[in-house]
Chain A
């Protein structure tokens, strides 16, 4: 009997948490879809030139990088697979995008969900973005260093 009450309490508590989340999550997902529909990423790819330069990535990397970062790793990877088939990006660039995205992806949804549960969204976003940029930059240096050494 005690266990049944415990389970009912847990289910009620969890469902009310999810309901609270739903109030905020639904508008956010709808906004994300609208941004996707109006091809917002294509419109801002030109504005991240400086950041790409710092990461030593070409302009073509902007779309998969921003897409994966904002909307999720699956979308990012789908774009990456397309790009690699078409030979738009070099192997090194693809690897760097993979590193960046594995650290920092679908940041809108993730940050949102945890913020609803009480986490500080700025700390969350800041840490993830900062780490992604730093780690990708270090990886770029390492890859180029070893590629130069091989001297093919």
Chain B
């Protein structure tokens, strides 16, 4: 007789593990970003990327979130997001971009078991991420005027 307690227990265990993982990643990343920000590093990186990020309707600081997403994982990107002020629209655009492309060093390898080559997967996802960000921002401009 199967019982519902088993998946519930497994789910609780898994979610606690995931939350602990989140704490382990997000807390150090946001501390690092806060420190970098304190010493003005974020400002110079953000300043450099401001024109590029404007294409997505995002502030320059969002560059850091994207880089963390592409090369580390989206939990790390969340750590960055918690330190910058974004409107709901900007968070949505950024979340779409991060959702489409994150944790490339791990996920492209996992996906390569299907026969999808690692550089192809990476190129595909980065293109999808940047393309979707551009398009979504244009759609927002079209419907809300910015």
Asked if B83 and A94 sit within 8 Å, CB to CB, the answer is no
Nearest A residue to B3 by beta-carbon distance? Answer: A37
Q: DSSP majority for the B interface? A: helix
Encoded as 1 (CB less than 8 Å from any B CB) or 0, chain A from 27 to 41 comes to: 011111110111000
- Asked if B66 is at the interface of the complex by the 8 Å CB criterion, the answer is no
- Asked if B145 is at the interface of the complex by the 8 Å CB criterion, the answer is no
The distance in angstroms between the C-alpha atoms of A22 and B21, with both chains bound, is 12
Asked if B8 and A111 sit within 8 Å, CB to CB, the answer is no
Nearest A residue to B86 by beta-carbon distance? Answer: A118
Q: Evaluate whether A25 and B78 lie within 8 angstroms (CB atoms) in the complex, with A10-B31, A120-B88 already known.
A: no
Asked if B27 and A25 sit within 8 Å, CB to CB, the answer is no
Task: Identify which of residues 100-137 in chain B touch chain A, using a CB-to-CB cut-off of 8 Å.
Answer: 100, 107-108, 110-116, 121, 124-125, 128, 132, 136
Nearest A residue to B23 by beta-carbon distance? Answer: A18
Nearest B residue to A37 by beta-carbon distance? Answer: B7
Asked if B26 and A77 sit within 8 Å, CB to CB, the answer is no
Determine the chain A residues whose CB is within 8 A of the CB of B22 once the complex forms.
18, 21
Determine the chain B residues whose CB is within 8 A of the CB of A1 once the complex forms.
none
Determine the chain B residues whose CB is within 8 A of the CB of A98 once the complex forms.
111-116, 121
Determine the chain A residues whose CB is within 8 A of the CB of B112 once the complex forms.
98
Determine the chain B residues whose CB is within 8 A of the CB of A11 once the complex forms.
27, 30-31
What number of A residues sit within 8 Å (CB to CB) of B? 54
Asked if B15 and A15 sit within 8 Å, CB to CB, the answer is no
Nearest B residue to A128 by beta-carbon distance? Answer: B99
The distance in angstroms between the C-alpha atoms of A86 and B38, with both chains bound, is 56
Encoded as 1 (CB less than 8 Å from any A CB) or 0, chain B from 28 to 50 comes to: 00110011001000000000000
Task: Identify which of residues 53-96 in chain B touch chain A, using a CB-to-CB cut-off of 8 Å.
Answer: 74, 78-79, 81-83, 86, 88, 91-92, 94-96
> Distance (Å) between the CB of A16 and the closest chain B CB?
10
B residues adjacent to A (C-beta < 8 A): 2, 4, 6-8, 10-12, 14-16, 18-19, 22-23, 26-27, 30-31, 34-35, 38, 74, 78-79, 81-83, 86, 88, 91-92, 94-96, 98-100, 107-108, 110-116, 121, 124-125, 128, 132, 136
List the 4 closest pairs (A to B, CB-CB), nearest first.
Answer: A98-B114, A30-B11, A33-B11, A37-B7
CB-defined A-B contacts under 8 Å, sample of 14: A14-B27, A14-B82, A26-B12, A31-B11, A33-B11, A99-B114, A102-B107, A110-B99, A113-B78, A118-B88, A123-B92, A123-B96, A127-B99, A127-B100
